[in-house]
């Protein structure tokens, strides 16, 4: 029987530590601030934005929300980003993805100042992550690393397999595991003999976006299994990329969905915002 990795508990500790740090920063005249921009009325995006606002309130981070209608032009959105880039009250800027189809997501991301890019999606920050000389880490992969560390298991020397190659999760996830001396394989839709590769993984990270995609035969006995997926099953119930019931007795540690990676993503966003405030105020 595996141990459940409780993302809620790990994230609460991070947020509690941040609340103490934010209180100390405020005493010295620094008030970390986060601006969140949401375009359109995607229900999932609205839930994420509300959760981020709530986390800011819990920690003591100043937050502003910009809810723009779905017809907002790319030029209008970039103009808003550029205004926030020079707003001293705002240390971090987050544009909630996905954006409406008529807006080029990459153009918007590159308009964000790298110093305020708390998602770490700007090419400059991505480059720093590649060479291991970074200020900010992408929120989900960084949260995953915290969960792996919470198990007490060392990444060094382990066979690590990441299923998924997105710029947001898969690629940076592989780099973070590599930075800790894991031996990393990235799998994707064109990978042959996928089950054979994943079955050799000491640490398996599933970020493919398909409900219950990872089955028991794909998992090594005693592996650490991290499920980044957030899907709905045939009954409309939230589930991950891993068939939790089938895999939980085979893994040594496993994250649930919900309550695993999700809370860590928001906790890391808060951590990045506090770090951005310290950098911009020459405290780091």
Q: What is the pLDDT of residues 57-114, one digit of tens each?
A: 999 999 999 999 999 999 999 999 999 999 999 999 999 999 999 999 999 999 999 9
96 among known catalytic residues: yes
CATH for the stretch 29-114: 3.40.50.10860
**Which of these is catalytic: 52, 158, 171, 212?**
52
Name the band, by pLDDT with cuts 50, 70 and 90, for residue 33: very high
Catalytic residue among 96, 241, 250, 271: 96
pLDDT of residue 209: 94
Minimal CA–CA distance to 274: which of 88, 116, 158, 108? 116
Where in the sequence of the chain do the CATH 3.40.50.720 domains occur?
139-262
Structure tokens at 47: 């839930």
The SS3 of residue 51 is: helix
Length of the chain: 284
User: Other C-beta atoms within 10 Å of 152: how many?
Assistant: 7
Q: What is the DSSP string of 12-26?
A: HHHHHHHHHHHHHHH
The single residue of 15, 116, 119, 212 carrying the catalytic annotation is 119
Known catalytic membership, residue 110: no
Q: What is the pLDDT of residue 2?
A: 81
Q: Is 254 left (phi over 0), alpha (psi -120 to 50) or beta?
A: beta
Rounded to an integer, the average pLDDT of 35-57 is 95
Cα distance between residue 149 and residue 132, in whole Å: 18
Three-state secondary structure call for residue 109: helix
Q: What is the pLDDT of residue 1?
A: 67
52 is catalytic: yes
Extract the tokens encoding 228. 């980044």
The whole-angstrom distance between residue 281's C-alpha and the CA centroid of its chain comes to 25
Range(s) for CATH 3.40.50.10860 in the chain?
29-114
Reduced to 3 states (helix: H, G, I; strand: E, B; else coil), residue 36 is strand
Partners of 36 in the beta sheet? 65, 94
Strands (E), the chain: 3-4, 33-39, 62-68, 92-95, 159-163, 183-187, 203-206, 224-227, 231-232, 238-239, 253-254
CA–CA separation, 134 and 36 (whole Å): 22
Query: What's the pLDDT at 215?
Result: 98
Q: Mean pLDDT across the chain, nearest whole number?
A: 97
d(CA 268, CA 270): 5
Q: How far is 51 from 6, CA to CA, in rounded Å?
A: 18
Chain position carrying tokens 């792996």:
148
The CATH T-level fold of domain 139-262 is Rossmann fold (3.40.50)
pLDDT of 14: 97
With CA atoms as reference, report the closest residue to 10 among 128, 149, 122, 213.
149
- Which pLDDT tens digit goes with each residue over 103-147? 999 999 999 999 999 999 999 999 999 999 999 999 999 999 999
For residues 240 and 118, is the Cβ–Cβ distance under 8 A? no
- Rounded to an integer, what distance in angstroms lies between the CA atom of residue 253 and that of residue 272? 27
The residues that bridge with 185 in the sheet, in sequence order, are 161
Among 229, 237, 179, which residue's Cα sits nearest to residue 204? Answer: 229
């Amino acid at each position: 029987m595996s141990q459940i990795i409780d993302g809620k508990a790990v994230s609460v500790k991070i947020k509690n530590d941040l609340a103490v740090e934010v209180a100390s920063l405020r005493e010295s005249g620094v008030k970390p601030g986060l601006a969140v921009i949401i375009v359109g009325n995607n229900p999932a995006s609205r839930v994420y934005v509300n959760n981020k606002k709530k986390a800011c309130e819990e920690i003591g981070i100043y937050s502003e929300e910009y809810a723009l209608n779905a017809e907002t032009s790319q030029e209008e959105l970039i103009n808003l980003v550029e205004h926030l880039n020079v707003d001293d009250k705002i240390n971090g800027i987050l544009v909630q993805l996905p954006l409406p189809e008529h807006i080029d997501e990459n153009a918007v991301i590159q308009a964000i100042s790298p110093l305020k890019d708390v998602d770490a999606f700007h090419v400059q920050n991505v480059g720093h992550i590649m060479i291991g000389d970074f200020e900010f880490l992408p929120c989900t992969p960084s949260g995953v690393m915290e969960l792996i560390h919470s198990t007490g298991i060392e990444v060094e020397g382990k066979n690590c397999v990441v299923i998924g190659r997105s710029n947001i999760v898969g690629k940076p996830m592989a780099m973070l595991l590599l930075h800790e001396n894991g031996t990393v394989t990235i799998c994707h839709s064109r990978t042959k003999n996928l089950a054979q590769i994943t079955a050799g993984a000491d640490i398996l990270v599933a970020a493919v976006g398909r409900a219950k995609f990872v089955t028991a035969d794909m998992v090594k006995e005693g592996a650490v299994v991290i499920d980044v997926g957030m899907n709905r099953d045939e009954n409309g119930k939230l589930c991950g990329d891993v068939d939790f019931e089938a895999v939980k007795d085979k893994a040594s540690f496993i994250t649930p969905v919900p309550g695993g990676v999700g809370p860590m993503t928001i906790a890391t966003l808060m951590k990045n915002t506090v770090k951005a405030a310290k950098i911009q105020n020459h405290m780091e």
